[in-house]
Structure 1
Amino acid sequence: MVKTLSLIAAGIGFASLSLAQYETTGNPAPPTKIDLPLLKQYTQLGIRPAGTCSDSVFVRRVHLDLTGSIPTADQARDFIDDRSKDKRAKLIDELLASDGFSHYCTTLWCDRLRVKSEFPINLWPNAVQAYHRWILGSIRENKPYDQFVREILTSNGSNFRVPQVNFFRAVQNSDPETIARAAALTFMGTRLDSWPKDRQQDLAVFFSDLAFKKTSEWKEEIVYADLFSQRENRRGTTLTLPDGKTVEVPLDHDARKVFADWLTHESNPWFARNAVNRIWHQLFGSGIIQEPDDIRPDNPPANQEMLALLEKELNVSGNDLRHIYRLILNSATYQRSSIPATNTPMAEQLFAHYPLHRIDAETLIDSLCHITGTTEQYWSMIPEPFSFIPVEQGSVTLADGSITSPFLEKFGRPPRDTGLATERNNEITAAQQLHLLNSGHIREKLNRIGLQLPRRNTPVANTDELYLSILSRHPTQAELLALSDYTLMAEAEGRDLATDIAWALINSPEFLFKH
């Protein structure tokens, strides 16, 4: 294994590549209306934006960002070889319509909505599965975002039969104050802890009619607006909205509906901003406002004009989230190289180049399993959530935050306890690096890679297949030369060349990072 390190030292991977490997030599991506506010800002600040990323970088990046998976070797090869001018736009449309997109976005929504059967959320497995199916179905049908949120906030019924009521149960204390904090965090992108106490209490009143009732069915619970016995919690009929305006809500009317009307209205200062900022965060690893759930007056956006433009686009489109994805993905800003043209912190904060960030834990293990043709084992604290999981189940499609693995824990998958974006930790640690370098878990997977990859006619063709499968690109001539020298040594020692190359590639920053 020590000798295999010479593969990295000899020049395999991200740090050694020429600029041409990461930037296109053809026509740069033309600026769109999304880009213009940023370009104006660059001119004012003397920032030169990076060039357009290469096709191999783009196909990998957009697959990771939209489906949580790397492209197959065939997908990467076909895209790189395609000579049509609109192939990037076509791929974006194809991925937005894919089931992979629906599943990956469902996972991200389950993180925010705290979809977890066990402590401290305690939704219970039946409710988790129902909730997950409802979220997945909503994303598949491209349900308008305002309708999606309204259906959650105004829901009544069984946690098994009306799955969206689990929003009110997926908090550690089902009191009005805690539910208000969850609603503000999830749908307004703001943390109530930063609000004055009286404003926090004003918002909590909109949820003061909520009641919970057990049934004879095991773990079933009815969530409903108790408009009679809960009246003392309302403290009158004049309620104050988060923007300071007052509204009359009769005691026999569900105050949640009034809040939902206000929240989803196009004039609301938080709703569209939160939605588009979270999409930007998904695609860049950083929000226009960062953190994406910490929107407040003293945390300004990187570019206010661009943020306002995206908010308007969401409203004009009828709350079509895919429309926002499409706008951003087709922009020159998204398609920039990760190689800085102006190497300053300000340039990165303003997205003058694509920000490097590590791929998610679920994506990383699913990619390793896909490359090697292996599966992953999961566990949970109690057996119920673990029942009926297919052997080939991928981590991205796991419904329940209680089902996990040592790998997912080590690589920062969010526990889904609070819904905060900071629960997901994509920082590289020494323990992670050692696991990828030396663990039996990874070694067992890599030992099977020769059985997974199709055998080509020549060693160079086999190496090309490995590179396309793992890095979504062809090897450079310098890399092929380094590998030809290593091949002689590997054959003399009886080593498996495919395993050694794969080991070197998966430990490279080029594999571990979105770039």
Structure 2
Amino acid sequence: MMRIKAILLFLFAVFFLSLVSSGDQGKPKLASVSIKPAVKESAPSQTPPSSLPDVKAKNKIDEFVLAKLKELGIPPARLCSDHEFIRRVYLDVIGTLPTAQEARTFILDKGPNKHSTLIEHLLERQEFADYWAMKWSDLLRVKAEFPINLWPNAVQAYHRWIRTSIKKNLPYDRFVRELLVSSGSNFRVPQVNFYRAIQSKEPEAIAQAVALTFMGVRAENWEKDRLSDMAAFFSQIVYKSTGEWKEEIVCFDPNKAGALSTESVALSTIFPDGTRARLSHGQDPREVFADWLIAPKNPWFTRNIVNRIWSWLLGRGIIHEPDDIRPDNPPSNPELLAFLEKELIGAHYDLKHLYRLILNSNTYRLSSVPRTNKPAGQANFSYYPLRQLEAEVLIDALNQITGTTEKYSSAIPEPFTFIPAEQRSIALADGSITSSFLEMFGRSSRDTGLESERNNSPTSAQRLHLLNSSHIQRKIEQGRKLRNLMQAKGNMRQLATRFYLTILSRFPTNEEVKIVEAYSKSNRGNKRIVAVDLAWALINSAEFLYRH
């Protein structure tokens, strides 16, 4: 009983120094406490956001954001500290925590260009392709069997193509066009699985999926005639079985029974913007639609992807929600959105150009501590919003800091259920391969392609699992990396420094070191007890569980 009380007091002390609970909408706020160096030769002075100078515009993004905030009378948050930035940009760009050494090196680096240098480095990391393939697999419904129609072989091929396209930085317009116009085997031409991964093969269902994914529009809310006109472009897709189990040839068939002839499609089909389609005899209507869609003047295509990426990096779209673009849902900053659209078009749809613009802005570097409680502050990006880590990112982070692995399973009898021990969750190809942890923490079901399928809202079950489950406790007590940290030579100050850098990507404050030292004395210097309980306390802090 005394041990339990000591642990709870220890946890409360750590929480008190790093958190202020009951933030906006039930989310915790990180406290703005003064942080001083714990060890002169290793821990630099970490300036809190409250003492930093006013934010200045670093690029055009900042000019648009700061101008809008000034118009609204909303002060922007201060710039975040270096330890906040490295953790934030690692999680946002590669879905991975920085190692203790990476965090230490960046924090101690005095170079003027270290932020932009780090961004370039992360954009070339292997994990960049893994993480963004995961996000695109949510939208493209990369998942075996019910209610999605993909066979496991096709899922693996589809995910591999998505990841390779991201790794090679395939221009976004080409990426989309290949998904829409490709024909061939679902095993050998992975792009055709875009159509196979839609729950219904009806043209209207395909049109709705295309509109949602590449236009950010919920076409089910359109007038019936408008949806029917768009659906006609997909009315001559056929699915032909082969001699191989579950293989299908997806292609255009101008003679498809019951479909409009190519000539009548030209006469009756209208693009979603109201212009009439022009087709030559025998031309695949998908190609005509794709060329219309990816044209720079298209009113939805560029706007959709720019808004989605902004939302993924900054927690909220310039148009909110990012997959609900409509006339009565205007952007919070039209000038900013128009600028980003123009930049992406000028860069020939190089998405990394867009990442660089956003990540190198001071808007992205704003602290997560707002300077005002005005509701418009969040919608106009006056601060970086707190967001709980995605399920895959969180379990990967836990495995990384503890040196443990995770077990996965699938309800589908497939040959890819066996996952190597070192496999990271963000690199899982198939949405049907999962774990109880991933399901509990809101992993996307990949059924519809809606952003809302992923649920990052905290729940009581999640908190209890992190606080009191044997699953997490085993990782802490038996994990190879944490065991090595606790067995390393050094005093309690050095142990605290190692654990804080490993778990929170920062040096501990003097106050936090004193808490660890006092807790050590109360446990007669038992380093193992102190290390296990310290890891448990830090893992259960909002500073670990949230992007900030």
Distance 1:412 1:112 in 2: 15
Quote the offset at 1:29 in angstroms. 6.2
Quote the offset at 1:487 in angstroms. 1.2
Aligned to 1:4: 7
Amino acid at match of 1:23: P
Q: Equivalent of 2:266, from 237, 260, 277?
A: 237
Q: Alignment partner of 1:213: what SS?
A: strand
1:230/1:369 CA distance change after superposition, 3 Å = same
TM-score after normalising by structure 1: 0.97
Distance 1:251 1:345 in 2: 55
1:160 to 2:193 alignment: no
Distance 1:379 1:491 in 2: 43
Equivalent pairs, count = 515
Distance 1:264 1:196 in 2: 23
1:23 to 2:49 alignment: yes
Distance 2:131 2:436 in 1: 21
Amino acid at match of 1:304: P
Amino acid at match of 1:18: V
Quote the offset at 1:386 in angstroms. 4.1
Distance 2:299 2:524 in 1: 65
Amino acid at match of 1:505: L
- Superposed counterparts of 1:185-196, under 5 Å: 185-196=212-223
Q: Is the 8 A contact 1:209 1:231 kept in 2?
A: no
- Superposed counterparts of 1:328-477, under 5 Å: 328-384=358-414, 386-449=416-479, 450-453=482-485, 455-477=488-510
Q: Alignment partner of 2:260: what SS?
A: helix
Q: Is the 8 A contact 1:380 1:403 kept in 2?
A: yes
Distance 2:401 2:50 in 1: 26
Quote the offset at 1:385 in angstroms. 5.3
Distance 1:30 1:90 in 2: 19
Q: Deviations over 1:396-420 (max 9, x none)?
A: 0000000000000000000100000
Amino acid at match of 1:451: R
Q: Deviations over 1:263-303 (max 9, x none)?
A: 00000010111111111111112111111111111111121
Distance 1:380 1:252 in 2: 43
Q: Equivalent of 2:115, from 78, 85, 88?
A: 88
Aligned to 1:147: 174
Aligned to 1:34: 61
Amino acid at match of 1:397: A
Distance 2:179 2:359 in 1: 28
- Superposed counterparts of 1:16-415, under 5 Å: 16=31, 18=33, 22-23=48-49, 30-230=57-257, 232-234=259-261, 235-238=264-267, 239-384=269-414, 386-415=416-445
Q: Deviations over 1:214-245 (max 9, x none)?
A: 10011110000001234733544222001000
Q: Alignment partner of 2:508: what SS?
A: coil
Amino acid at match of 1:14: L
Q: Alignment partner of 2:251: what SS?
A: strand
- Superposed counterparts of 1:504-515, under 5 Å: 504-515=537-548
Distance 1:18 1:152 in 2: 50
Distance 1:332 1:417 in 2: 36
Q: Deviations over 1:347-374 (max 9, x none)?
A: 1111101111111000000000111000
Amino acid at match of 1:511: F
1:494/1:62 CA distance change after superposition, 3 Å = closer
Deviates more, 1:135-144 or 1:28-37: 28-37
Quote the offset at 1:24 in angstroms. 8.2
Q: Runs of 4 or more off by more than 6 Å in structure 1?
A: none
Quote the offset at 1:387 in angstroms. 3.3
Q: Alignment partner of 1:143: what SS?
A: coil
Q: Deviations over 1:457-502 (max 9, x none)?
A: 2221111111011110001111111221111123377862111001
Amino acid at match of 2:483: L
Q: Equivalent of 2:19, from 14, 25, 39?
A: 14
Q: Is the 8 A contact 1:155 1:165 kept in 2?
A: yes
Amino acid at match of 1:269: P
Distance 1:341 1:19 in 2: 16
Q: Is the 8 A contact 1:211 1:224 kept in 2?
A: yes
Q: Is the 8 A contact 2:235 2:259 kept in 1?
A: no
Aligned to 1:481: 514
Q: Alignment partner of 2:433: what SS?
A: coil
Quote the offset at 1:19 in angstroms. 5.5
Quote the offset at 1:381 in angstroms. 0.5
Amino acid at match of 2:128: F
Quote the offset at 1:255 in angstroms. 0.4
Distance 1:156 1:179 in 2: 15
Q: Is the 8 A contact 1:110 1:132 kept in 2?
A: yes
Where do 5+ consecutive residues of structure 2 fail to align?
Answer: 21-30, 36-45
Q: Is the 8 A contact 1:371 1:452 kept in 2?
A: no
Q: Alignment partner of 2:238: what SS?
A: strand
Where do 5+ consecutive residues of structure 1 fail to align?
Answer: none
Distance 2:527 2:423 in 1: 34
Quote the offset at 1:23 in angstroms. 2.3
Identity %: 53
TM-score after normalising by structure 2: 0.91
Q: Is the 8 A contact 2:386 2:546 kept in 1?
A: yes
Quote the offset at 1:93 in angstroms. 0.6
Distance 2:236 2:520 in 1: 71
Q: Is the 8 A contact 1:380 1:386 kept in 2?
A: no
Q: Is the 8 A contact 2:14 2:538 kept in 1?
A: no
Quote the offset at 1:87 in angstroms. 0.3
1:364/1:377 CA distance change after superposition, 3 Å = same
Q: Is the 8 A contact 1:266 1:315 kept in 2?
A: yes
1:231/1:328 CA distance change after superposition, 3 Å = same
Q: Deviations over 1:423-481 (max 9, x none)?
A: 00000000100000000000000102432437242221111111011110001111111
Q: Is the 8 A contact 1:24 1:53 kept in 2?
A: no
